[in-house]
C-alpha cells in the first residue's frame, strides 16, 4: 500500500465562543510540576534511567499520547517519559486569540473527552462549527456541509495553545507519566542498530533507555531518520498565511467555516467568536511574502478581495455548469452565501509557514514507532493534519493496551504492526485526497475547472455522499 501511495504521489507531482466568566488563571507551576515529579525518588543507577515508554516531542500529539497512555487502566503499570526540547510549556494568552488553530474532528473530540481535556478546553475557549461552505472562484460550483436542522456540530475550532495547555493540565494527575523540558534529543540507537533496548542520548550527554521509543518529533523527525526508513516528501512551493481577524457587521452567531478555492490555492475563514475569525490562506511563496509585508489596511483589502472579488470566468465552463444545474435543479435549492467582510486584523497575528506533503514507508520497528507529523504530513486545506495525529494516538494506545493485557509486550513488532495497518487504512486515503485536491484546485486550466466544478456540484446534490464525508 505504501509503494502504491508513493507511486500515486509521484504521478500527481509535475456556537458562541465558550468563554470563562473570569480570566483563566493558568498556574505558574504547571510548566514545572510534571517535570519535577519523582525527581526525589530517582537513583543514579542505570535502572533509574530506564522507562517503559519514552515519547520524543511534547507537541499536541506527543502530549496527548503521554496522557492517554498514562490514563489507560491496562497501561498504568508502565513508566512513561515525555521529552520536550523547549524550556517550558507556553501558557495560552487570556487576552487574545492565537493565530494557530485546529479544526477538531469528532474523533479528536472523543479522545479529548476520554483523557479529560475537553472540559478544560470548554472552560477556556472553543467555537463549534455548524456549517461549512466551500466554493470555486473560477465557476459557480459550491458545496455546503451541515447536519439536518444543525442538530450536530461539524467540528470545533480550538487554538493550538489552548488544546496543548488543556492536555498538559491533565498530566498533573497522572503519576506514571513524567515530563522533562529542555531535553533536546541529540541521537538515538535502536535495536536494529545492535542496542539491547531503544536508547536516546540528550544534548547534555544523558543516556536513557526504554522498551518502546515513540517519535512524535515532527516532520523533521530524528527518530524517523534513525529508523532508516524511506520518507516521501513533496514541497508544494506554497505557504499558509495565518492571522486573527475582526469581522465587520458580524453575524449574530458566527458558526460557519468559509473556504474559497482561488487559482493560487484555498483561503479559509474559521470562526473563533461572534466577531472574530481565524484566517488560513494557502498561496505561492512569493505572494505569501508580499502579504506579510503589507500594512494592515492593505492586507485587509487583499483578504476581502480574495473572498469577494469576481475572478475571470470561461464561457465554456459557465455553459457546462448551466447544463449541470438544469439536471439537478429539483435536488438542491442552495445558493452561494457571501462570506463575512473583514474590518481589521489583530495586531501581530499575521504569520506564515511552509506547506508540503510527507509520508514514511513504515511507522514501526522493533521497539520504536512514529506518530503524527513524524509519520505523515498533509496540506491544511481539509483541516485533517492534527486529527490524523490524534487518530494515531487513539489507535496506538488501544494496540499497546491490548498487547500489555495479553502479556505480549509493548515493543513487539507484530503487535506494533497492527497499529500501522489500522492507521494506513485511514491515513493514506486522506493524504491522497488532500494532495489531489491541492493539485486540482491550483489551476485555471479550463477542462480541469469544468471537471472539478461538475464533481463539486454533483456531490453537493447528493446528501448521502455528504453525510459520508462528514462521518
pLDDT in tens, 370-390: 999 999 999 988 778 899 999
29 occurs within a structural domain: no
Looking at the predicted structure, is the pLDDT value of residue 132 above 50?
Answer: yes
- Grid look-up 515513540 returns 214
pLDDT in tens, 283-322: 999 999 999 999 999 999 999 999 999 988 888 888 888 8
33 occurs within a structural domain: no
pLDDT, residue 11, reads 38
445 backbone dihedrals φ, ψ, rounded to 5°: -60, 125
Cell of 18: 465558550
pLDDT, residue 148, reads 81
Distance CA 225, CA 119 (A): 37
199 occurs within a structural domain: yes
For the chain, the domain total comes to: 1
pLDDT, residue 329, reads 64
379 occurs within a structural domain: yes
Task: Give the chain's mean pLDDT.
Answer: 87
A 10 A CB-CB count for 411 gives 24
Distance CA 404, CA 410 (A): 6
Looking at the predicted structure, is the pLDDT value of residue 38 above 80?
Answer: no
Distance CA 409, CA 213 (A): 13
Decide if 171 contacts 181 (C-beta within 8 A): no
Looking at the predicted structure, is the pLDDT value of residue 213 above 90?
Answer: yes
Looking at residues 347-376, what average pLDDT do you find?
96
Residue 372's domain comprises: 49-470
Looking at the predicted structure, is the pLDDT value of residue 137 above 90?
Answer: yes
204 occurs within a structural domain: yes
Of 10, 312, 381, 321, nearest to 141 (Cα)? 321
3-state secondary structure of 285: helix
261 backbone dihedrals φ, ψ, rounded to 5°: -90, 110
300 backbone dihedrals φ, ψ, rounded to 5°: -65, -40
Distance CA 317, CA 430 (A): 28
Looking at the predicted structure, is the pLDDT value of residue 268 above 90?
Answer: yes
Q: Burial letters for 32-46: b for 16+ Cβ neighbours within 10 Å, e otherwise?
A: eebbebeeeeeeeee
pLDDT in tens, 51-71: 999 999 999 999 999 999 999
pLDDT, residue 149, reads 78
441 occurs within a structural domain: yes
Q: What is the DSSP code string of 401-423?
A: HHHHHTT--SS-HHHHHHHHHHH
pLDDT, residue 403, reads 97
Looking at the predicted structure, is the pLDDT value of residue 258 above 90?
Answer: yes
3-state secondary structure of 387: helix
Looking at the predicted structure, is the pLDDT value of residue 4 above 70?
Answer: no
Looking at residues 344-350, what average pLDDT do you find?
96
41 pLDDT band, cuts 50/70/90, is very low
pLDDT, residue 5, reads 47
Q: Burial letters for 319-358: b for 16+ Cβ neighbours within 10 Å, e otherwise?
A: ebbeebeeeeeeebeeeeeebbebeebbeebbebeebebb
pLDDT in tens, 384-430: 889 999 999 999 999 999 999 999 999 999 999 999 999 999 999 99
CATH code of the domain covering residue 244:
3.50.50.60
Distance CA 240, CA 292 (A): 11
Looking at the predicted structure, is the pLDDT value of residue 350 above 80?
Answer: yes
pLDDT, residue 468, reads 72
pLDDT, residue 250, reads 67
pLDDT, residue 471, reads 64
pLDDT, residue 91, reads 84
4 occurs within a structural domain: no
14 occurs within a structural domain: no
pLDDT, residue 330, reads 53
More confident residue, 23 or 81: 81
pLDDT, residue 174, reads 95
Of 337, 335, 332, 336, nearest to 461 (Cα)? 332
pLDDT in tens, 157-195: 999 999 999 999 999 889 999 999 999 999 999 999 998
Of 410, 386, 421, 452, nearest to 156 (Cα)? 386
Decide if 177 contacts 18 (C-beta within 8 A): no
Amino acid at each position: 500500500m505504501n509503494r502504491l501511495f508513493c507511486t500515486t504521489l509521484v504521478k500527481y507531482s509535475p456556537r458562541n465562543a465558550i468563554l470563562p466568566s473570569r480570566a483563566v488563571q493558568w498556574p505558574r507551576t504547571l510548566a514545572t510540576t510534571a517535570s519535577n515529579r519523582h525527581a526525589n525518588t530517582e537513583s543514579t543507577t542505570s535502572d533509574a534511567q530506564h522507562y517503559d515508554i519514552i515519547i520524543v516531542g511534547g507537541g499536541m500529539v506527543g502530549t496527548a499520547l503521554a496522557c492517554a497512555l498514562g490514563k489507560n487502566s491496562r497501561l498504568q503499570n508502565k513508566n512513561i517519559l515525555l521529552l520536550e526540547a523547549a524550556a517550558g510549556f507556553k501558557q495560552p494568552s487570556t487576552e487574545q486569540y492565537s493565530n494557530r488553530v485546529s479544526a477538531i474532528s469528532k474523533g479528536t473530540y472523543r479522545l479529548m473527552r476520554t483523557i479529560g481535556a475537553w472540559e478544560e478546553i470548554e472552560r477556556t475557549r472553543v467555537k463549534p462549527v455548524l456549517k461549512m461552505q466551500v466554493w470555486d472562484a473560477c465557476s459557480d460550483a459550491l458545496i455546503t456541509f451541515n447536519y439536518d436542522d444543525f442538530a450536530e456540530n461539524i467540528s470545533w475550532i480550538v487554538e493550538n495553545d489552548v488544546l496543548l495547555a488543556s492536555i498538559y493540565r491533565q498530566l498533573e494527575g497522572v503519576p506514571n507519566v513524567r515530563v522533562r523540558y529542555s531535553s533536546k534529543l541529540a541521537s538515538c540507537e535502536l535495536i536494529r542498530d545492535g542496542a539491547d533496548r531503544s536508547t536516546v542520548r540528550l544534548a547534555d550527554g544523558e543516556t536513557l533507555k526504554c522498551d518502546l521509543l515513540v517519535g512524535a518529533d515532527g516532520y523533521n523527525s530524528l527518530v524517523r531518520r534513525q529508523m532508516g526508513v524511506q520518507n516521501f516528501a513533496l514541497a508544494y512551493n506554497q505557504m499558509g498565511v495565518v492571522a486573527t481577524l475582526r469581522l465587520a457587521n458580524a453575524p449574530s452567531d458566527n458558526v460557519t467555516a468559509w473556504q474559497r478555492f482561488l487559482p493560487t490555492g484555498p483561503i479559509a475563514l474559521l470562526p473563533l467568536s461572534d466577531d472574530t475569525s481565524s484566517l488560513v490562506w494557502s498561496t505561492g511563496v512569493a505572494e505569501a511574502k508580499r502579504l506579510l509585508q503589507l500594512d494592515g489596511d492593505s492586507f485587509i483589502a487583499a483578504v476581502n478581495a480574495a473572498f469577494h472579488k469576481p475572478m475571470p470566468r470561461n464561457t465554456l465552463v459557465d455553459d457546462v455548469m448551466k447544463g449541470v444545474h438544469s439536471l439537478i435543479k429539483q435536488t438542491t435549492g442552495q445558493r452561494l452565501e457571501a462570506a463575512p467582510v473583514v474590518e481589521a486584523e489583530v495586531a501581530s497575528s499575521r504569520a506564515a509557514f511552509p506547506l508540503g506533503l510527507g509520508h514514511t514507508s513504515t511507522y514501526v520497528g522493533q521497539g520504536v514507532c512514529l506518530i503524527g507529523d513524524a509519520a505523515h504530513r498533509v496540506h491544511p486545506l481539509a483541516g485533517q493534519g492534527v486529527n490524523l495525529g490524534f487518530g494515531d494516538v487513539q489507535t496506538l494506545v488501544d494496540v499497546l493496551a491490548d498487547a500489555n493485557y495479553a502479556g505480549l509486550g509493548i515493543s513487539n513488532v507484530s503487535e506494533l504492526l497492527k497499529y500501522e495497518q489500522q492507521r494506513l487504512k485511514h491515513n493514506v486515503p486522506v493524504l491522497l485526497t488532500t494532495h489531489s485536491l491541492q493539485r486540482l484546485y491550483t489551476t485555471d486550466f479550463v477542462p480541469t475547472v469544468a471537471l472539478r466544478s461538475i464533481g463539486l456540484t454533483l456531490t453537493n446534490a447528493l446528501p448521502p455522499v455528504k453525510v459520508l464525508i462528514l462521518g
